[in-house]
Amino acid sequence: MIITPTLHFHGECEEAIGLYQQAFDIRIDFMLHYTDANQQDWNHELTEEQKGYVYHAEAYLGEQRIMLSDELAPAAAASTSLFLTITFETATQVKKAYEVLKAGGTIIHPLRSTTYSSCMVSLVDKFGIRWGLMTEQTDR
């Protein structure tokens, strides 16, 4: 079995990808827009705006493969009980990602040192995705 985190958006997937490239330097391996996909994959007409949405994208966040897409269905209730934790080598890297992601977001746990991490923060970005950013317990 392989577990692949999949992030869904509502017309903001490409904007989110740009943000995550700034924060984490993600690498996009594949991107397919609705306009380029087989229309048999969904059962209704798309608006002109939806045709430009991301149907399926694959990226790497470090060595971890993730998938991203724009959802056509109505927004589901948001939950912050499941989130992605990114462990960096240095506090400088944590702080850089935090500065990128905090704009328009909500801070859950402010930037600080804890028993298990010399530098950590938890936040929900402007797209509703919750992130844990941290280092291991280190002086770096």
User: CB–CB of 67/56 below 8 Å?
Assistant: yes
What is the pLDDT at residue 77? 65
With a cut of 70, say whether residue 78 has pLDDT above it. no
- CATH number for the region 6-70 comes to 3.30.720.100
What is the pLDDT at residue 139? 67
With a cut of 70, say whether residue 76 has pLDDT above it. no
Q: What are the extents of the domains in the chain?
A: 6-70, 84-135
Structure tokens at 45: 């007409």
* Res. 11 pLDDT band, cuts 50 70 90: very high
With a cut of 80, say whether residue 21 has pLDDT above it. yes
**CATH number, domain 84-135, options 3.20.10.10, 3.30.1120.10, 3.30.720.110, 3.10.580.10:** 3.30.720.110
With a cut of 90, say whether residue 140 has pLDDT above it. no
With a cut of 70, say whether residue 136 has pLDDT above it. yes
Q: What are phi and psi of 26, to 5 degrees?
A: -65, 150
Domains 6-70 and 84-135 are alike in CATH topology: yes
* Res. 86 pLDDT band, cuts 50 70 90: very high
DSSP conformational letter for 135: E
* C-alpha dihedral (48, 49, 53, 55), degrees to nearest 10: -40
What is the pLDDT at residue 137? 77
Q: Please, which residues have CB within 8 angstroms of residue 9's CB and are 6 or more apart in sequence?
A: 16, 54, 68, 69, 70, 71, 127
With a cut of 90, say whether residue 26 has pLDDT above it. yes
Calculate mean pLDDT across residues 30-54. 92
